[in-house]
Structure 1
Amino acid sequence: MSKGKFFSFLVLVGAIALIAIHSIKLISAPPASTAVTVKLSGWGGNIVEQKLLQQVLNDFEAQHPQIKVKYEVISDQYMDVLKTRLVGEAAPDVFYLDALEAPFLMSQDVLEPLDAYITPEFDLGDFEPNLLKSFKYKNHIYGLPKDYSTLSLFYNKQAFAAAGLKNPPPTWEELRAYSQKLTGKLNRYGLGITPELARQAYKIKAFGGQIVDQNGNASFASEAGLQGLQLVVDQYQKDRSSAQKSDVGTNSGSEMFGQSKVAMVIEGNWAIPYLRETFPQLEFATAEIPTINAQKGTMVFTVAYVMNKQAKDKAAAWELISYLTGKAGMEKWTGTGFALPTRQSVAQKLGYDQDPLRSPFVAGVNYATPWQVGKYPGAIVNNFDNQFISALLGQQPLKQAMVRAENEANQQIKTME
């Protein structure tokens, strides 16, 4: 073999050896790191809401390429499905939790406390305190509220003009007087009502009553609590200037107002886009709920993102929660106006505190009654609602109805503890 051929042979052998070594390295090298998947669950909203959430999640993934979000909508029996999955250790890593259901889950040691993850840069103090406290339990924070709505008074501007009314009523006594003037004019009734505890709790508190006591038992049948509820019954039975949805053949308070069956209604922020889209010709305005017993009052409904204590990658789960409830993520989520931001700085940046329709909702958040009634809300809510509607329809006296509701609720709670 000539020197040239021998040299070529050595080069070939060397090349083969290098290829072999490289192949071995490829086989033995660890695979490229794959993205972590965080499972997120919530209940179904409207199409606009679903699309908006997906956009926010897409933005999160673009900024966090190492984390993928698998979003699942639990469209039916949300809490029942979630509780079953938590017991079976098959729950999502991050999920929606309504303030109403929070006390029970926080007490069951199935949620991850978030205190250790929250840094000064996250600016926890930016959240509305009245919203954050709904997700605190035994000095720990278990959830960060993603949005909220209070209740405000909606009134038909054309109906007000026809009745010679210029401004919204500042007190409940004036609201009743307004209702009588408005009934039978452009609208069949002055005020639309929803006889559920979720809409009546602030009236109970206006006279010093309470929904549950320190032990978590129902206590809404006190004389103080009955005073607030009596206002609703008297207006419905004596004045005949208010109506509930079934009286006028509608499915909700927003609908009976939109169809001009009633001139006023007390509803949440969610009614604004609904009314604008469904009843574009309706001229309406909003105001804070009239004072009762010289006390300002409303309800506040809020939902938080919480972390499953069994989450597979808690650091990634926190990254998702902190983005969704951080200033940038929250601004994207609430920028369209169908939900209100729980961060004060975001509300100010979006101008909701100056918005003619939304400012009453923002103003009410500090004095609102959180929609939360202890660890066993089903027993309290169901018994109240069933008995209160009976009293409203005149089937039994109010006090008898509420005492019955309270006793039955507390008997049920005893069997659950």
Structure 2
Amino acid sequence: MTRQWWKFVGLAVAIALLVVSCQRLLAPAGSGVMHAEIVTVTLSGWSASPTEQALFKQVLREFEAAHPTIRVRYEAISDQYMDVLKTRLIGDAAPDVFYLDGLEAPFLISQGVLEPLDAYIPTEFNLEDFEASLLDSFRYENQTFGLPKDYSTLALFYNKTAFAEAGLTAAPQTWEQLREYAKQLTIDRNQDGRIDQYGYGEIPELARQVYKIRAFGGELVDGQGYATFATEAGLRGLQLAVDQYQRDRSSAQKSDVGTNSGSEMFGQGKVAMAIEGPWAIPYLQETFPELDFATAPVPAINHTPGTMVYTVAYVMNRQAAHKAEAWELIQYLTGNAGMQRWTSAGSALPTRRSVAETLGYADDPLRSAFVEGVDYATPWQAGIYPTVIMNSFDNQFVSALLGQQPLPQAMQRAQENANEEIWMQGGGSRDEG
């Protein structure tokens, strides 16, 4: 062949390679052509209701549409979320991005498995827009390890029909008023010796009781992460629940009335008041459409407003394969557009003040009490061994509520059991006594 022929062949090959490269760079998503830049980011969270799952998948589709070179592979872990996640982190098989409850954040931060996000966060992302107490749940030593996606506080739900029948015209403002209201609302309608409607539904779980521990100056854990709720100050708040259940006999727990949750107790009319989160609003509206109810702030204890706040963040695996793309996902989901889309259903509240304002939740008659509460709420955290403390407390507190042992004895036993196990698991030094 002539030299000119070989030059022609070489030029043709070069042009062909250039065309293929351009096709890979420019071909639209879904065209079937290879994309050199497409990256898959893995994301895990826990299972939610079908409605919430459908909404979240739609949010992810919108992210992918706005970021055509990133695909998200989402997996909902249906059971034992933290156990599964910890196992995968140990085995270097964890997702790039995952949900992290504020309760579990101190432990995972202490293990060094989370990527600090500060270097990724641009000024225009506006961290100041987040509720500070929620952001602080994922901060340690001036580093940010997660961005909260939503939150829930607790508020008082009350049955307006039951209130009207009892001649009550407004929600109780203090815990003393709540107890008096509960007595008036506790009714045996057919005089058969069995209560048909209790005044108040009690949830005897630590996740619902910490604000009571703190109302008189008590604390859940000390600076070393050991349980410290059995102090005199801590017991004063918890005694309120015990006295109402045993002495007033105006409160019931869910097992007393054959229900599975506080929301169900309230919805079925088994109790006239309950302290629940915003997740109860759509549940009650859908399941009990005839129920006429309202919400109000949790009544003050010891002249101090109080409630709980529960929050969940998106965090990045320190071993993430595609950190830049993982950040793009986190940034979208916790940015104004993604957060507004996700929290528009109202079962959880936006952590950005601007989004809450856009959605009008501060003026919503059913949700305003929850928004108000975030300013003074107690974050649901219990050191780096939360499960140990929670299980010890719950087991003994129920026993005290039922009158099987005095509250001080029950709480001292719970505290000692928890601290012994924390010590066995490698907890640090602590002050005795």
Aligned twin of 2:429 = none
Aligned twin of 2:247 = 238
The yes-or-no answer on 1:90 pairing with 2:90 is no
Aligned twin of 1:375 = 384
Residue type of the alignment partner of 2:82 = M
The higher radius of gyration belongs to: 1
Aligned twin of 1:147 = 150
* Equivalent position SS for 1:292: coil
Aligned twin of 1:361 = 370
Contact kept in structure 2, 1:107 and 1:137, CA below 8 Å: no
What TM-score, normalized to structure 1? Answer: 0.95
Residue type of the alignment partner of 1:84 = T
In the TM superposition, residue 34 of structure 1 has moved relative to its aligned partner by 3.3
- 2: CA distance, partners of 1:28 / 1:218: 62
What TM-score, normalized to structure 2? Answer: 0.91
The yes-or-no answer on 1:335 pairing with 2:344 is yes
Aligned twin of 2:31 = none
Identity over aligned residues, as a percent?
66
Q: Which runs of 5+ in 1 are unaligned?
A: 1-8
The aligned runs of 1:259-270 (5 Å cut-off) are 259-270=268-279
Contact kept in structure 2, 1:204 and 1:226, CA below 8 Å: yes
- 2: CA distance, partners of 1:13 / 1:298: 81
The yes-or-no answer on 1:165 pairing with 2:164 is no
The CA deviation string for residues 120-150 of structure 1, in whole angstroms up to 9 with x for no partner, is: 1000000001111100112110000000000
In the TM superposition, residue 118 of structure 1 has moved relative to its aligned partner by 1.0
* Equivalent position SS for 2:137: helix
- 1: CA distance, partners of 2:379 / 2:151: 10
In the TM superposition, residue 366 of structure 1 has moved relative to its aligned partner by 1.0
Aligned twin of 1:34 = 37
Q: 1:248 aligns with which of 257, 260, 265?
A: 257
In the TM superposition, residue 30 of structure 1 has moved relative to its aligned partner by 11
Q: 1:47 aligns with which of 32, 47, 50?
A: 50
- 1: CA distance, partners of 2:341 / 2:286: 21
Contact kept in structure 2, 1:159 and 1:185, CA below 8 Å: no
In the TM superposition, residue 313 of structure 1 has moved relative to its aligned partner by 1.1
* Equivalent position SS for 2:153: strand
Aligned in 2, Cα 1:387/1:67: closer, same or farther, shift over 3 Å? same
Aligned twin of 1:4 = none
Aligned in 2, Cα 1:269/1:28: closer, same or farther, shift over 3 Å? closer
The yes-or-no answer on 1:122 pairing with 2:125 is yes
* Equivalent position SS for 1:232: helix
- 1: CA distance, partners of 2:174 / 2:14: 86
- 2: CA distance, partners of 1:394 / 1:231: 14
Aligned twin of 1:70 = 73
The CA deviation string for residues 25-63 of structure 1, in whole angstroms up to 9 with x for no partner, is: 679999652311100000000011101111111111111
Residue type of the alignment partner of 2:129 = D
Q: 2:216 aligns with which of 200, 207, 213?
A: 207
Q: 2:102 aligns with which of 96, 99, 102?
A: 99
Aligned twin of 1:137 = 140
The CA deviation string for residues 325-374 of structure 1, in whole angstroms up to 9 with x for no partner, is: 00111111111212100000110111000000000000000100000000
The aligned runs of 1:384-399 (5 Å cut-off) are 384-399=393-408
Aligned in 2, Cα 1:268/1:310: closer, same or farther, shift over 3 Å? same
- 2: CA distance, partners of 1:211 / 1:49: 32
The CA deviation string for residues 215-236 of structure 1, in whole angstroms up to 9 with x for no partner, is: 1000000000000000000000
Aligned in 2, Cα 1:399/1:64: closer, same or farther, shift over 3 Å? same
Aligned in 2, Cα 1:19/1:348: closer, same or farther, shift over 3 Å? same
Aligned twin of 2:319 = 310
- 2: CA distance, partners of 1:103 / 1:70: 27
Aligned twin of 2:60 = 57
The aligned runs of 1:13-32 (5 Å cut-off) are 19=12, 22-23=15-16, 32=25
- 1: CA distance, partners of 2:9 / 2:303: 92
Structure 1's consecutive aligned runs of 4 or more residues displaced over 2 angstroms after TM superposition are: 9-32
Q: 2:280 aligns with which of 271, 287, 290?
A: 271
- 2: CA distance, partners of 1:398 / 1:28: 73
Aligned twin of 2:353 = 344
The CA deviation string for residues 3-41 of structure 1, in whole angstroms up to 9 with x for no partner, is: xxxxxx999999777545545667999965231110000
Aligned twin of 1:414 = 423
The CA deviation string for residues 187-218 of structure 1, in whole angstroms up to 9 with x for no partner, is: 52000010000001000000000000011000
* Equivalent position SS for 1:384: helix
Residue type of the alignment partner of 2:69 = Q
Aligned in 2, Cα 1:134/1:15: closer, same or farther, shift over 3 Å? same
